[in-house]
Chain A
Amino acid sequence: MAGNIGIFVCGCDGLISGVVDMAGVEAGLAKVKKRIGAKVFHPRLCGSGGTGAVRSAISQNALDCVIIAGCPESECRDVFNSVAAEAGLAPEMVLRLDIREGCAFPHGNNPGGATAKAVNLIKMWNARARLAEPYKPVYATGNRDVLVIGGGLAGLSSANELAEAGLNVTLIEKESYLGGRAGQFDKVFPRMCDSRCGVTFLVNRLKDNPGIKIMPFTEISGLKGSAGRFEAGLSSRPRTVDPEKCNLCGKCEQICPVILPDEYNFGVVTRKAVTPPRPLDQVGSYVINRENCLPGCSLCADICPAGAIALEREPASSTVKFGSIVLATGWQPFEAEKISRLGFGRYANVLTNVQMERIMSPDGPAGGRLVCPESGREPENVVFIQCAGSRDINYQGWCSTICCAATLKQAINIKLLNSRIKVYVFYIDIRVYGDYEELYSRAQEAGVVFVRSSPAQVYAEPGAAGLMVVGEDTLMGRTLKISADLVVLAAGMKPCGIPQPILNHLSHGQAGESRGNPEEAGLLDRRGFFVGHRQCFPLESPAQGIYPAGTCQEPMDMANTVRGALAAACKIFKTSGERVEVSPMVPQVDKAGCDKCKRCMEECPYGVWYFDNDGYPAPDPLYCKTCLTCVGACPRQCISAQGFSVQELVGTVTARVKETEPGEPHVVAFVCENDAYQAVLLAGRMGLEYPSGVHVIPVRCAGSCNMVLIQDGLPEGIDGFILAGCRHGECHYIHGADRTEERVANIKLTLRDIMIEPERVDFVRLGVRDAEKFAGHARDFVERLKKMGPSPFKKIN
């Protein structure tokens, strides 16, 4: 509580004093005396004379809080903060009040109104200043336990970075091997190095690190708690083969009667229900895929010379506690058999690009030689068909971004293997962005023929060997028919999807009630990618503590995957220090007032609330983004943050102010400081006029406006309220503006019931540049208020 407040009014070299009558302000503030230590009127506070005046006034009068009425907060911040610091005042005890953009500029033709408004604003800020207190720093113990879901390139990169920084990482992978897709492929463009090399390096680094626990064959089965306090249920597939006993003799695989397409090789060859260890294996034994077994068959268990096989093992389940999750679930290839005209699945010599990777891999089914699967001979003509299923509204509407570069890489490799093989690429557009363009020229130099066409059909001509590809060459304007020994379809990326427990957590929160649809907020793609807010918060999910990385976000190449993985690790570092100093604006709950209604938990856009040991809700300071939606939501007004509380704002609406002009409605506008307030400032700078009765108060987010402000303000005689939030889908705190819109709609019904015009409360959405919209809206609103007449409460006060 500030006991000795200083009021400093700046003339801004005539910009303010040219409109606002400084003597009039002084007269208006004549009766404002209590707890006021000094009133200083200066032509230019930020000049050397002005700062000297501020400094000496603070020290002479022992002021503990100052109100600087002048330019907006964004200007001269350092000047006033350093002056205050010299005089021993914390920066938060310097309250800035904008009477230039907010008062002098828009009311240039109305000096009387501007002067009265300036007096009102200073009185309102005075009420705030009385409650101002220096911040107490908030420290939290960092959370150093992380769960990484997915052992592919993204998961490994994140896990490695986190483990090297000394965090405890649990890495779960649903397969028996690590490395994911990157481990299955042949070469990496543009350097043409071995794809497995990088993941092998990462796996080896991880093995050396004691801080990491790798759990193959494990999936997440449940998720409870909130950021910092997650508790996940993990279920591991049963270990039917004992790795201690298994000597990898392979007799079990030989005798297994089940034959299936081999997923590791994308179906180019077959496998048994018993599979040998894959490269980068983490299990250390043969693996029996029990879901493939014939009922009652126990041939493998019977033949095993080491007695390592026990078929009836139960899946193991465990729970882990951790603070953050890296979600790196990756991608899967599009099912090319869906496009029947291209013949995949019908002709053995039609492959997808991922199958081609396996064929050309040195450890693949063909041993790194280029062969046609049907004949086992080297092809003479190879045709690549781009965008198989991609950029096609019938299949996958999006561009997978990497297929063009992957095809060019494969085409160049074929030409390097044998330059006499004819290679054709059928494309719609070659999309190799950035530096990868060089691959395009390399392929052209190597003699690859490019045909702009989306082929109509791939078919086998009766009697002839090989396949025919038919399409229209759209550059030449003629149909084209090419015979091919091998056709490679560039099938795009499809997300593997987000594990159901996490999806439930994102959309329902802890209390089981809907937190709002992440799809609606645009953070979760309808197609299953975890896009986040691409520019502002690309790694963020609606629930804090869950960070997506890699191709589960959107189709991307390996370089971007690693970047994304490191970025996710960075987000986790922020909350992992031994002692983290967090924002002092983390909300605090006054337990005396709280009745545990949980509305704060429900309305928090980030799900950072949990129940503390006494059963009261508390936000996790590490993950709170201080949007203060909870302050606006609390029906008991018992949540407040340092420097932002309902009581302070109530002070502004209950301050004893006067009409700016006779008959002018008194309007208070609470505007979001991110977007709407910028529009208000811009309106001032553009000199747009709006009525002088509109008093603007910037708030953290529209969602931080508690409706008690209206319930307190209307009886005090305020004629109307404007609440301004961000435009739809643009709120920096996901749905702060939507919450306010909802609350305003609700309070309008109450006003209607108590026979007060609901139109006295108005919600408007403003973008950062909507200055004209704001000014126009304020004019219309005041016009409507004038027609309605003064607030009925004015009579009883």
Chain B
Amino acid sequence: MPPKVDPTKCDGCQGESEPLCEQVCPGNLMTLEKETKKAYCREPGDCWDCMTCTKACPRQAIQTMLQYQIAYFPGKLIPLVGTNSVTWTSIDCHGRVERFVMKTLVSSDDEDED
């Protein structure tokens, strides 16, 4: 399911000719709508749900709906991107919430014991 842009949160990266989502999309699918200056996915059928734009958006304006095989509308998967982890919240069609933390950067074993 293609990314959905919340127009109230998207600021078109403030007049940027190429917003962040457009820069990161591996399929070059995201672009700015000329008049509203809001991002949108120009070819939803080609999106393979890599979620790169969803993670990259500095305003957290992009959401990805879950694949219908997993959950039909309104199921969704939302990342919260930290410096060395991504926290995923999955909300299925019944409103059940699941959260996962994925470490993206493993720091050296420098932490003290608890």
Most central of A647, A650, A750 by chain B CB within 10 Å:
A750
Contacting residue for A754 out of B6, B14, B78, CB 8 A: B78
**Residues of B in contact, count (CB < 8 Å):** 35
Contacting residue for A749 out of B9, B58, B91, CB 8 A: B9
Q: Is the CB of B15 within 8 A of A34?
A: no
Residue on A nearest B80 in the bound complex, by CB: A711
Find chain A residues with CB under 8 A from B63 CB.
753
Q: Is the CB of B60 within 8 A of A746?
A: yes
Residue on A nearest B99 in the bound complex, by CB: A796
Q: Is the CB of B112 within 8 A of A656?
A: yes
Q: Is the CB of B78 within 8 A of A595?
A: no
Once A511-B15, A598-B16 are accepted as A-B contacts, the answer to whether A754 and B80 lie under 8 Å apart by CB is yes
**Residue A35 interfacial (CB < 8 Å):** yes
Complex interface residues of chain B between 1 and 27 (CB less than 8 A to chain A): 6, 9, 13-16, 19-20, 23-24
Q: Is the CB of B83 within 8 A of A708?
A: yes
Q: Is the CB of A715 within 8 A of B14?
A: no
Counted as pairs of residues, one from A and one from B, with CB atoms less than 8 Å apart, the total is: 94
**Residue B110 interfacial (CB < 8 Å):** yes
Once A511-B14, A599-B58, A602-B14 are accepted as A-B contacts, the answer to whether A755 and B80 lie under 8 Å apart by CB is no
Q: Is the CB of A33 within 8 A of B112?
A: yes
CA gap between A35 and B107 in the complex, in Å: 15
**Residue A761 interfacial (CB < 8 Å):** no
**Residue A792 interfacial (CB < 8 Å):** yes
CA gap between A793 and B19 in the complex, in Å: 31
Q: Is the CB of B58 within 8 A of A597?
A: yes
Find chain A residues with CB under 8 A from B76 CB.
753
Q: Separation in Å of the A780 CB from the closest CB of chain B?
A: 26
CA gap between A683 and B9 in the complex, in Å: 37
**Residue A662 interfacial (CB < 8 Å):** no
Q: Is the CB of A754 within 8 A of B82?
A: no
**Residue A714 interfacial (CB < 8 Å):** yes
Complex interface residues of chain B between 100 and 114 (CB less than 8 A to chain A): 100-101, 110-114
Contacting residue for A35 out of B9, B23, B110, B113, CB 8 A: B110
**Residue B59 interfacial (CB < 8 Å):** yes
CA gap between A34 and B114 in the complex, in Å: 12
Contact with B along A786-797 (1 / 0, CB 8 A): 000000110011
Find chain A residues with CB under 8 A from B113 CB.
31
Residue on B nearest A633 in the bound complex, by CB: B58
Contact with B along A329-341 (1 / 0, CB 8 A): 0000000000000
**Residue A260 interfacial (CB < 8 Å):** no
Complex interface residues of chain B between 52 and 82 (CB less than 8 A to chain A): 56, 58-60, 63, 76, 78, 80-82
Most central of B23, B59, B80, B91 by chain A CB within 10 Å:
B80
Q: Separation in Å of the A480 CB from the closest CB of chain B?
A: 62
Q: Is the CB of B87 within 8 A of A31?
A: no
**Residue A314 interfacial (CB < 8 Å):** no
Residue on A nearest B13 in the bound complex, by CB: A597
Find chain B residues with CB under 8 A from A429 CB.
none
Q: Is the CB of B114 within 8 A of A755?
A: no
Most central of B24, B76, B78, B112 by chain A CB within 10 Å:
B112
Complex interface residues of chain A between 702 and 745 (CB less than 8 A to chain B): 708, 711-712, 714-715
CA gap between A796 and B114 in the complex, in Å: 17
CA gap between A480 and B40 in the complex, in Å: 75
Q: Is the CB of B20 within 8 A of A597?
A: yes
**Residue B85 interfacial (CB < 8 Å):** yes
Q: Is the CB of B20 within 8 A of A32?
A: no
Contact with B along A614-646 (1 / 0, CB 8 A): 000000000000000000000101000000001
Residue on A nearest B63 in the bound complex, by CB: A753
Find chain B residues with CB under 8 A from A647 CB.
83
Residue on A nearest B85 in the bound complex, by CB: A715
Residue on A nearest B23 in the bound complex, by CB: A595
Residue on B nearest A746 in the bound complex, by CB: B59
Complex interface residues of chain A between 23 and 46 (CB less than 8 A to chain B): 31-35
**Residue A612 interfacial (CB < 8 Å):** no
**Residue B97 interfacial (CB < 8 Å):** yes
**Residue A556 interfacial (CB < 8 Å):** no
Complex interface residues of chain A between 581 and 600 (CB less than 8 A to chain B): 595, 597-599
**Residue A512 interfacial (CB < 8 Å):** yes
CA gap between A597 and B39 in the complex, in Å: 14
Q: Separation in Å of the A792 CB from the closest CB of chain B?
A: 7
Find chain A residues with CB under 8 A from B20 CB.
595, 597, 635
**Residue A513 interfacial (CB < 8 Å):** yes
Find chain A residues with CB under 8 A from B19 CB.
597
CA gap between A749 and B89 in the complex, in Å: 14
Contacting residue for A599 out of B14, B99, B100, CB 8 A: B14
Q: Is the CB of B16 within 8 A of A635?
A: no
CA gap between A691 and B22 in the complex, in Å: 45
CA gap between A35 and B56 in the complex, in Å: 34
Q: Separation in Å of the B87 CB from the closest CB of chain A?
A: 4
Q: Is the CB of B60 within 8 A of A750?
A: yes
Find chain B residues with CB under 8 A from A597 CB.
13, 16, 19-20, 23, 58
Find chain A residues with CB under 8 A from B56 CB.
635
**Residue A747 interfacial (CB < 8 Å):** yes
Find chain B residues with CB under 8 A from A637 CB.
83
Q: Is the CB of A656 within 8 A of B114?
A: yes
CA gap between A738 and B21 in the complex, in Å: 25
CA gap between A755 and B89 in the complex, in Å: 8
Q: Separation in Å of the A639 CB from the closest CB of chain B?
A: 13
Q: Is the CB of A715 within 8 A of B101?
A: yes
Find chain A residues with CB under 8 A from B83 CB.
637, 646-647, 650, 708, 712
Q: Is the CB of B87 within 8 A of A34?
A: no
Q: Is the CB of A714 within 8 A of B80?
A: yes
Q: Is the CB of A755 within 8 A of B97?
A: yes
Find chain A residues with CB under 8 A from B114 CB.
31, 656
Find chain A residues with CB under 8 A from B100 CB.
796
Q: Separation in Å of the B86 CB from the closest CB of chain A?
A: 9
Find chain B residues with CB under 8 A from A511 CB.
14-15
CA gap between A749 and B111 in the complex, in Å: 33
Q: Is the CB of A793 within 8 A of B87?
A: yes
Q: Separation in Å of the B73 CB from the closest CB of chain A?
A: 15
CA gap between A635 and B111 in the complex, in Å: 27
Find chain B residues with CB under 8 A from A793 CB.
87, 99, 101
Residue on A nearest B15 in the bound complex, by CB: A513
Q: Separation in Å of the B4 CB from the closest CB of chain A?
A: 11
CA gap between A754 and B87 in the complex, in Å: 10
Q: Is the CB of B15 within 8 A of A747?
A: no
CA gap between A31 and B111 in the complex, in Å: 10
Q: Is the CB of A796 within 8 A of B15?
A: no
Q: Is the CB of B15 within 8 A of A753?
A: no
Contact with B along A747-763 (1 / 0, CB 8 A): 10110011110000000
CA gap between A756 and B99 in the complex, in Å: 11
Find chain A residues with CB under 8 A from B97 CB.
754-755, 792
Contacting residue for A750 out of B13, B78, B91, CB 8 A: B78
CA gap between A599 and B20 in the complex, in Å: 10
Q: Is the CB of B110 within 8 A of A34?
A: yes
Residue pairs across A and B with Cβ atoms less than 8 A apart, 28 shown, are A31-B112, A31-B114, A32-B112, A511-B14, A512-B15, A513-B14, A595-B20, A595-B24, A597-B13, A597-B20, A598-B14, A599-B14, A599-B58, A602-B15, A637-B83, A650-B82, A650-B83, A656-B112, A711-B82, A712-B85, A714-B87, A715-B85, A746-B59, A753-B63, A756-B89, A792-B99, A793-B87, A796-B100
Given contacts A597-B23, A753-B78, 15 further A-B contacts (CB under 8 A): A31-B114, A34-B110, A34-B111, A650-B82, A656-B112, A711-B81, A711-B82, A711-B87, A712-B83, A712-B85, A714-B80, A715-B99, A750-B60, A755-B91, A797-B101
**CB-CB nearest 7 A-B residue pairs:** A635-B58, A712-B82, A754-B89, A715-B87, A750-B60, A513-B15, A711-B82
